[in-house]
Amino acid sequence: MSAPSDAALESRAVNIIRGLSMDAPHAARSGHQGTAMALAPLAHVLWTRVLTYDAGDPDWPDRDRFILSAGHASILLYSMLHLTGHGLTLDDLRQFRQWDSATPGHPEVGLTAGVEVTTGPLGQGLANAVGMAVAERNLRARFGAAVSDHHTFVICGDGDLAEGLSHEAASLAGHLGLGRLVVVYDDNHVTIDGPTELALSDNAAARFAAYGWHVIDLGEAAEDLDAMEAALRAGMAQHDRPTLIVLRSHIATPSPDTDSPAAHGYSLTDDGIAETKRRMGLPDDESFHVPDDVLAMYREAGARGSVARQAWQQRLAAWDGDRAAWDACWARSGLEGWADALPTWEPGQSVATRKAGNACLTALLDEVPGLIGGGADLTGNTGTTIAGHGVQSADCPEGRQLFFGVREHAMGAICNGMALHGGLLPVGGTFLVFSDYMRGAVRLAALSGAKTLFVWTHDSVGVGEDGPTHQPVEHAAALRAIPGLRVFRPADANETAGAWRVAVEGDGPTAFLLTRQDVPVLAGTDDHAAVARGAYVLVDADGPVEVVIIGTGSEVAVALDAAATLTAGGTAVRVVSMPSMDLFGAQDAAYRESVLPPGVPVVSVEAGVTFGWGAWADVSVGIDRFGASAPGDVVMERLGITPAAVAEAARGLLDRKPIDQKEGVA
C-alpha cells in the first residue's frame, strides 16, 4: 500500500474515525469509546498504508490478517470496515450493539465481513494471531511464496498482556521464531478499575525481549503517522522472530476525558462529544459525519488491494504445485477417497481409544494434508504424535508436529487461530481433566465455528493411581454443555475412527474424549453412519424391548455385560451406544424414538457425573463425587461402574410401576 500524500486530509480522516468512535457507542448508550479514539491514527496507518487486503473480496487466502485482540474497541474496527468499503453501512454503525446487527459489542468472525476472529475475552486474539502466523509460515514453506506470502497484525492492550494466556502464547511464538507477526501494544495505562499501576508494573518490552521477540518501543508516537508506519514496516521485515511495538497512547484523545479510566467505557455523551468534535474541527451537531473526500480516500485504499488479489489469483492459476493438496487444505478436508484410509479393528481386540485415535491421525496425514498439531507436553500420551512430517520450528517451518509445551490454554487458542486462518486442520491434545485450563479457547472455538480438533484423553476415573486431581468426572458434562461443540466419547477403536470421519467431514470444532486404558473392540461399532447419528442400537432384544441400557465410552462394554446378565434372567434388553449426545439430540424425533422407544424405561451408565443424562435416561449409573487414587479397575468397581450395578439399577427400574422420575445412582 502507498501512503496518501495529503497530510491535511489524513488528519481530518483520523478525526472522522474518532467521531464515529464516539457516536456509535453514544447511539447504543453502551460501548467503549476511548481506546478506539486513541488508536484512530494507528488504524488509519494500517488500513491506508500497510495492510494488504481487498475490501471487495475480504476472504481471499493471501490477504494480511488483522486481529483486534482488544475486542472491546470493536467500534474502531467497524469504523474502518465501513470506511474502506467492506460492506458495513452507516446504518450498521448506528445499530451498534443492537439485536441482529452486524456490529455486535465485540467482533464476531462469520458475522461481519473483515473480522478474522472472535475477540473480547482478553489474550485470546493475541494467541489466535500466533496460530495464524504458524499457518501462514507452514503453508508458505510447503506450497511456496507464490501462493502464501502475507503478514499477521495485532492490536492488544494492557488487559491482553495481563492475562496468563498471553505469556503462554508469546513464549511459544518467540521459541518458534515466528516472523511476519507484528503486535502493537496499546500502552495506555488505563484499566476499568483505574490506572494500570494499581495492579500491573511489568516491563512489557523486557518481557517480550526475553521471549525472543523483536521489540520496538515507540514511546509517545500515537499521533505520529510516519513513525508508526516505519515501526510496522520494521516489524514486517523480521522473518525469524515476532515483533512487539510498544505504543504509548492516551485514551479518549482529544476529549475532555483524555487519560480518564472512565473513558475505557462509555463516558462521552452529548456535551463531551460536542466539545471533542469542536476541538477536532468537526460539526458538533451532526452524528456519524463522514465527508465525501474522506470516504473517497478510504474507499480507494480499500479497493487498492484488488490488484494484489488479482495477481495472486493469476499466480495460483499458473502454479505448478500440488493443487489437489492445496485445495484439500483450504477445504479443511481430505483428498478424494480419504476416508478409505481410516483403520478398522476386529472384534475381540483390546485397544485404548487414545491409541486408536493416533492410528486414525497417522493414517490420515497423507490423505488430509491440512492436519497439523500435537500435545501440551503430552503428545505421546494423548496420541497426537505426527511422525515423519517434521517438527514445526524456524528451521523446519513445513513441520506438522507442533510441540506446545505445558501451555494448554495457548494450545487451544493457537489451534483456533490456525483453523480460522484457513488452510490447516489443527489438532491439540491433553488430558481431559486439563480441558479446564483451556475452556476459554474451547468456548470461543464453538462460538466462532473454528474447525479445531480437541483430543482429550485419560477420560475417566479409569486413569487410576494419579487420583482425583487427574480423574475427570464432571468434564464430559461440562463440555457437552457448550453449544456448537461436537463431543465424542467413543466406545472403542472403531467408533473412534467413525468420530474422526465425522470431524473431518463436518464443520466446527470436535472434541474426542478417549481412554487411557485398553477397552474391547465390540461387534457392530464399525458403522460410521451410525456413529454420525450420535447413538444407535448396538445389541437388540429378541422380542419386545423391556429396558434399554445406554452406554458411552468405556462403559458400553459394561452395558453389554449388564445386558447379558439381565437377558440370562429373562429380561428383554436393548443396548444403545451413545458416542455423541449432541449429535443424537440433533436427529429427528422418528430416529430418536427408533433408538429409545417411548414408554420403555432407560438406564444409562457413564463413569462420570450423572448431570445431563436425565434427557435420555430414567435412571443413571454414574459417579457424582470425585475419584480416588488406586488402580483404575479398582476405582471403577469401588465407585459402582460395574455390570452388576447397572443390572441392579435396571431391575429396580422395572420393578417400579410407573416410572415416577428420572434420577441418578452414584
Strands 486-488 and 350-352: unpaired
Is pLDDT above 60 for 583?
yes
Nearest CA among 143, 62, 173, 116 for reference residue 420: 116
Instruction: Compute the average pLDDT of residues 484-509.
Output: 98
Which of 196-200, 273-277, 466-470 has the least mean pLDDT?
196-200
Instruction: Compute the average pLDDT of residues 464-479.
Output: 96
- Is 430 exposed, middle or buried (CB count within 10 Å of its CB: 0-12, 13-18, 19+)? buried
- CATH code for the structural domain at 7-309: 3.40.50.970
Is pLDDT above 70 for 58?
yes
Q: What is the pLDDT of residue 118?
A: 98
- Is 89 exposed, middle or buried (CB count within 10 Å of its CB: 0-12, 13-18, 19+)? exposed
Instruction: Compute the average pLDDT of residues 111-133.
Output: 97
Tell me, letter by letter, the H, E, C secondary structure of 118-142.
Answer: CCCCCCHHHHHHHHHHHHHHHHHHH
- CATH code for the structural domain at 338-520: 3.40.50.970
Is pLDDT above 90 for 662?
no
Q: How far apart are CA 470 and CA 514, in angstroms?
A: 14
Is pLDDT above 70 for 560?
yes
Query: CB of 345 within 8 A of CB of 521?
Result: yes
Query: CB of 67 within 8 A of CB of 128?
Result: yes
Q: What is the pLDDT of residue 661?
A: 44
Is pLDDT above 70 for 657?
no
Is pLDDT above 90 for 323?
yes
Q: How far apart are CA 18 and CA 247, in angstroms?
A: 18
Instruction: Compute the average pLDDT of residues 48-66.
Output: 98
Q: Topology of domain 535-665, per CATH?
A: Rossmann fold (3.40.50)
Q: Average pLDDT, whole number, for the chain?
A: 96
Q: Is the dihedral of CA 116, 118, 123, 128 positive or negative?
A: negative
Q: What is the pLDDT of residue 660?
A: 45
According to DSSP, residue 539 is labeled E
- Is 39 exposed, middle or buried (CB count within 10 Å of its CB: 0-12, 13-18, 19+)? buried
Strands 573-577 and 536-539: antiparallel
Which of 51-65, 200-214, 242-256, 651-665 has the least mean pLDDT?
651-665
Active site residues per annotation:
408
Nearest CA among 516, 537, 499 for reference residue 607: 516
Nearest CA among 192, 189, 213 for reference residue 201: 189
Beta strands in 23-121 (DSSP E): 65-68
279: left (phi over 0), alpha (psi -120 to 50) or beta: alpha
200: left (phi over 0), alpha (psi -120 to 50) or beta: beta
Share of the chain above pLDDT 70, in %: 98
Instruction: Compute the average pLDDT of residues 442-448.
Output: 98
**Are 7-309 and 535-665 the same fold in CATH?**
yes
114: left (phi over 0), alpha (psi -120 to 50) or beta: left
Per-residue confidence band for 1, with pLDDT thresholds at 50, 70 and 90: very low
Is pLDDT above 90 for 584?
yes
Name the residue ranges covered by the structural domains of the chain: 7-309, 338-520, 535-665
Nearest CA among 419, 438, 424 for reference residue 389: 424
Q: What is the pLDDT of residue 658?
A: 55
Q: List, for residues 147-192, the tens digit of each pLDDT value.
A: 999 999 999 999 999 999 999 999 999 999 999 999 999 999 998 8
Q: How far apart are CA 375 and CA 406, in angstroms?
A: 9
Per-residue confidence band for 146, with pLDDT thresholds at 50, 70 and 90: very high
Q: What is the pLDDT of residue 3?
A: 46
The whole model's pTM is what?
0.96
Nearest CA among 77, 172, 65 for reference residue 127: 172
Per-residue confidence band for 263, with pLDDT thresholds at 50, 70 and 90: confident
